[in-house]
Amino acid sequence: MITKRIIACLDVHDGRVVKGVQFVDLVDAGDPATQAARHAREGADEIVLLDITATHEGRKTLLDTVRRTAKALFVPFCVGGGIRSADDAAQVFEAGADKVSVNSAALKDPILIDAIGRSFGAQAVVVAIDARRDPKAANPVRDAEVFVQGGRKPTGRRVVEWAREAEQRGAGEILLTSMDSDGTRAGFDCELTAAVSEAVRIPVIASGGAGTVDHFADVFGRGRADAALAASIFHFGISSARSLKEELAKAGVSVRLPC
Amino acid sequence: MRVTVIDYKAGNLTSVLKALRHLGAEPEVTDGDLSLVEQAERIVLPGVGHFQATERLDATGLTPAIRAAIARGVPFLGICVGMQWLYAGSSEAAEQPGLGHFPESCARFAEGTEKVPHVGWNSLEVKAGSRLLAGVEPGEFVYFTHSFKGPVSSDTAATTFYIEPFAAAVECDNVMGVQFHPEKSGATGLKILQNFLSWEATGSE
């Protein structure tokens, strides 16, 4: 039976793993290669490394960090942040990533999705969407808006419509981050995740708000997520993917165990 | 050991090469140097992307060179689209023939309530006697990402269920294929790659 994936996310800033609330107030959380290896050993189904400073400071993804992190990692490894062209993506793949995640650059120039997909296959292209509900709209979920630059800048685009376009252009997965929930540990935005997951045929990875086992069970259930991203709950030794999955299995969620 | 990895320019080989090196092999990549196929002790065809991209194997002369190597008994492993290429063809690119080592054809998962592509970790049911999958316990998980698949047949070495049972691995003597990505499937995947690297012809063959 296909299992729900638990993805460990490493937000990286200046070559170090960091965690902040809603992308500000960053706290150091270790070395990316060490952290990735630990998560894989402790049962994470996949590793995502997001260079959160890359876009707004105009930096290239830290290829050295990617190379070091990929070296002894034998689970899927996705890298995002600062990928603006198919050439940028090619360098990240050459350094050892299996997938790249594109966000702002794809919104600016959606053909980027087609270009990476053509060269490396749809399975290698993850389109990351930073979403905020629109509290003024008649339907805040349906009309949720896409933001860029780490959640700083509104784009005027609707989340569901952009996810559909990404799929049509050849994205292999959608990484949906709720900016409203991110860092709060108060739970995923299940309504928004379900709206996107039902609108596309490709997997949707839910992100933002993980705090308890119940939050994961909820987003896999009514949120219809295929995978869920976790960062803060794994840092500082609070939990491991394995213990999270053991609890999810008890709650009836199909997960990869033993792992 | 000379492991020749075939590059048909449809994707990224880094992860496969990394896993082979991790296991002590010395992979060499070719996108058309037939001498590397002629001297190979093992051949690996990693595949991603569209089945149509395998036309490059025909255009470069790799297809007959691989066919000859297989006939000499060189162990061959196809991964993902590389496994699908071992069949007669795929409905993904109906005009493009596969190697035809296995007579069946690959087809897309049926549309329904489940998402296509099939992406994620799914479990294997291994057929008794598989040498490629020796030591893999029932229900061990491997990582998949694909929309097309081979049918279950007498050559199927492992089945996986998604929408329907399909061939997760195929094996007949020295010719082997896996629909999943062993290079991304943790310890289980590395064990399978190690089985392939250690494969030896048995005396009765």
The model's pLDDT over B61-92, given as tens digits with 9 standing for 90+, comes to 999 999 999 999 999 999 999 999 999 999 99
| pLDDT > 90? residue A215 | yes
* Interacting residues of B120 by C-beta distance below 8 A, sequence separation 6+: A2, A3, A4, A5, A45, A203, A226, A227, B143, B144, B145
Q: Please, which residues bridge with residue B156 across strands?
A: B170
Indicate the pTM of the whole model: 0.95
Question: What was the ipTM of the complex prediction?
Answer: 0.94
Interface probe with B: pick from A1, A2, A253, most Cβ of B within 10 Å = A2
B156-162 and B125-126 strand pairing: antiparallel
B118-123 and B141-146 strand pairing: antiparallel
Residue B74 CA to residue B92 CA, distance in Å, equals 28
The chain B residue lying nearest A75, using CA atoms, is B184
Judge whether A189 counts as a catalytic residue: no
Spatial contact of B141 and B121, defined as CB atoms under 8 Å apart:
yes
The minimum CA-CA distance between A48 and chain B, rounded to whole Å, is: 14
Interface probe with B: pick from A74, A98, A198, most Cβ of B within 10 Å = A74
Q: Tokens standing for A120?
A: 């490396």
Interface probe with A: pick from B141, B164, B188, most Cβ of A within 10 Å = B141
Q: Tokens standing for A255?
A: 């997960």
Nearest CB to A173; choose among B22, B119, B143: B119
Distinct helix (H) and strand (E) counts, chain B: 6, 13
Which residues in A lie closer than 8 A to residue B118 (C-beta atoms)?
2
The minimum CA-CA distance between B144 and chain A, rounded to whole Å, is: 9
The per-residue pLDDT for B205 is 45
What fold does the segment set A5-250 form as a domain? TIM Barrel (3.20.20)
Nearest CB to B11; choose among A71, A121, A259: A121
Nearest to A44 by CA among A98, A82, A6: A6
Spatial contact of A186 and A209, defined as CB atoms under 8 Å apart:
yes
The minimum CA-CA distance between B72 and chain A, rounded to whole Å, is: 32
The per-residue pLDDT for A21 is 56
Cα B161 from chain centre? 18
Residues of B identified as active-site = 80, 181, 183
Location of structure tokens 């492993």: B77
**3-state percent helix, strand, coil for chain A, nearest multiple of 5:** 35, 25, 40
Residues 48 to 107 of B: which have CB under 8 A from any A CB? 48-50
Phi then psi for B46, rounded to 5 degrees? -80, 145
The minimum CA-CA distance between A94 and chain B, rounded to whole Å, is: 6
Query: Using the beta-carbon criterion (under 8 Å), do B183 and A74 form an inter-chain contact?
Result: yes
Helix axes B186-198, B14-22, angle to 10 degrees: 70
The per-residue pLDDT for A13 is 85
Residue A66 CA to residue A242 CA, distance in Å, equals 24
Domains contained in chain B, CATH given: 2-198 (3.40.50.880)
Interior/surface letters B155-165, b for 16+ CB within 10 angstroms, e for the rest: bbbbbbebbee
Query: Using the beta-carbon criterion (under 8 Å), do B143 and A76 form an inter-chain contact?
Result: yes
Residues B84-141 have pLDDT tens digits of 999 999 999 999 999 999 999 999 999 888 999 999 999 999 999 999 999 999 999 9
Query: Sign of dihedral through CA atoms A181, A184, A190, A193?
Result: positive
Judge whether A130 counts as a catalytic residue: yes
Residues A113-166 have pLDDT tens digits of 999 998 899 999 999 999 999 888 899 999 999 999 777 899 999 999 999 999
Interior/surface letters B180-191, b for 16+ CB within 10 angstroms, e for the rest: bbbbbbbebbbb
The per-residue pLDDT for B203 is 58
Which residues in B lie closer than 8 A to residue A172 (C-beta atoms)?
117, 119, 145
What are the angstrom distances between the C-alpha of A28 and each of A241, B146, B167? 20, 37, 45
Cα A132 from chain centre? 15
Alpha carbon dihedral B189, A127, A108, A191, in 10-degree steps, equals -170
What are the angstrom distances between the C-alpha of A32 and each of A16, A57, A68? 6, 20, 8
Annotated catalytic residue within A31, A45, A88, A130: A130
Residue B132 CA to residue B123 CA, distance in Å, equals 16
